[in-house]
Amino acid sequence: MKKYNQIVNEWYVGLRSLFINYIHKRLPALRIEDIEDVYTETFIAVRQNLLNNKVASGTNWKAYIFQIGYNMSINKMKQESKLVQASDRPSDDDVDADEKFQTQMSLQDLIDDSDDKEQAEQRIAVLRREMTYLPEPCETILKDFYFGGFSMAEIMDEIHYNSVASVKSMKNRCMNRFKERVRVAFKMLNLID
């Protein structure tokens, strides 16, 4: 059982360079040192918001941290007279919003809709186990896209790819390889593929 501070530390360390890249790409006028400072402030603000019941249940924390951090970065620039217009923000409207996956799927609904519920539960158990073996960058791409609500362009920045097309292609390769592994696992367990 992990300790709470160990879990927070893993998140803090794990998101740090991604956060710096994310903000630097959008607000290049802000110094790296300032972004690092904002990052620590963001975690403090996130904790405060949570304790003050200002965060909705089921929040996607990575997206939330990046959103709060972005706003704090804007504030920091304003404080330092590096004025930016609110419209400078890459809003959902101008960052390929249609490329974002925004549908929440329900496992229970899928099981309920299945002809053979027991088989469906077993298939899902296998899927979830196999998911722990997702290699990088597949894990980042798939989780950011299907859960994080990040666009392909944002994921491209995060994993340092050169084009959105190459991220899309990698995402599809990841999916296909994962499905192949799951197919083998299903076969071994005599589950219907």
Partner 1 sequence: MKNIDNNIELFDAYLNNTMSKAERDGFEKQLNDDADLRKAFRQHKEFVACLQATCAEKDREFEQAIANISEEELRNITGKKSLSTQPQEEKPKGKMIPISSVYRWMSAAAVVLLLVGVGTNFYQKNQTQNLLCDAMVESYQFEAMHGASRGGETDETSMLRDEYNKAIAMINKNNTVEAISVLKKQFTAKSTPGDMKLDIGVALAYAYVKAHDVKNARLTIDELTKANGGETPQELVGLKKALDKL
List the interface residues with partner 1, window 146-165 (CB under 8 A): 146-148, 159-162
By the rule CB under 8 A, 104 interacts with partner 1: yes
Total of residues contacting partner 1 (CB under 8 A): 100
Q: Show contacts with partner 1 in window 19-48 (CB under 8 A).
A: 31-34, 36-37, 40-48
Q: Does residue number 95 form part of the binding site for partner 1 (CB under 8 A)? A: no
Whole-number minimum distance, CB 146 to partner 1, in Å? 5
Q: Which residue do the tokens 């073996």 mark?
A: 133
Could you say which of 12, 25, 82, 157 contacts partner 1 (CB under 8 A)?
Answer: 12
Cα gap 158→154, rounded to integer Å: 6
Least CB distance from residue 17 to partner 1, whole Å? Answer: 6
**Choice from 23, 27, 142, 155 touching partner 1 (CB under 8 A):** 142
Instruction: Decide if residue 127 touches partner 1 (CB under 8 A).
Output: yes
Contact 39, 174 (CB under 8 A): no
117 binds partner 1 (CB under 8 A): no
